[in-house]
Amino acid sequence: MVKVAISFNWVGHHIEQIVDFNLLKDDLNEKDDFWGEFICNGIVYQYQIWWNAQQIVIFNKGGVEPIGHIDNFRISFSHTFTKG
């Protein structure tokens, strides 16, 4: 199964998450929204990829208002990624 590495920097910390490609494919095809989650400085955040804006948008966990956005992020595809 194809995996995707999503990586970006948030408040000086490098964030990287490995997800199944099908999650992003369903998001792109508007079948199901992709929500990623990460912890930084003890705070839990969620994020979405806003494809049309070419941004990752950051939310407080459970929040509905964006608290920031990332313009510079990377998405890499591979069969060999493993979750760390």
Tokens for 55?
């941004």
Alpha helices in the chain (DSSP H): 21-28
Q: What is the pLDDT of residues 28-78, one digit of tens each?
A: 999 999 999 999 999 999 999 999 999 999 999 999 999 999 999 999 998
The pLDDT confidence band at residue 79, using thresholds 50, 70 and 90, is: confident
8-state DSSP, 22: H
The pTM (predicted TM-score) of the whole model is: 0.88
